[in-house]
Amino acid sequence: MVAPEVAQLAAQLAELVARNAAGAVASRISAIRARKLDQEAMNELIELVNDLIADKNELIGVATAFEQELVAQRVSDSDISYITSELLPVVEQLVGLASDDTEAREALDAIKGLVTPETLTILQLVGFNFRRAIGEPLTTLVERLILSKIPTPDRAAELQALQLRQQTAYFEALLDPEVRQLLTQD
């Protein structure tokens, strides 16, 4: 899937290329020459040159934006080393907090298989986007882990209902003379 920014840049580039195709420029020059009005022709040629310069500057801007998008997707060698040596132990600790979450453990195992210097370099060379493929799922995984540790209003209500049942069962048990005698024997 192409990022919206890249798709927008590609559309802008296609528009600029179509507008500045050699045929389009040649036809504008021919139309100007056909009129044979010296000052007016000169003014239109100046306008054409100014349009071409403006389009050239816009093309440079589009190319720069493309370059920034591509650089943003590239992971440097120092980033790769840092990720493999520092990030994985922290992620393992976070997943260790969710000892009952098999989905988190499976995701961690998949990430560990991908996050080696060799694999990162090879995948990147063939155009793999690590920030989207690993960064976003890892963000989601950590988010789920954190949210699973926070009691939600539904869980709080469920916990209150269980506590109420426990208290009710305790008081019902106290109504039984044998149970009351067992509890008061201390």
pLDDT digits (tens, 9 = 90+) for 104-138: 778 777 877 777 888 878 887 887 877 777 778 87
pTM of the model: 0.37
| Domain, as residue range, for 15 | 4-73
- Quote the CA–CA distance of 96 and 125 in Å, as a whole number: 33
Domain count, the chain: 3
Looking at the structure, tell me whether residues 44 and 101 fall in a common domain.
no
Shared-domain flag, residues 43 and 93: no
Say yes or no: 68 and 84 in one domain: no
- The pLDDT of 66-93, averaged and rounded, is 76
Residues 64 and 100 in one domain: no
**Res. 51: pLDDT tops 80:** yes
Q: What's the rounded Cα separation, in Å, for the pair 91 and 95?
A: 6
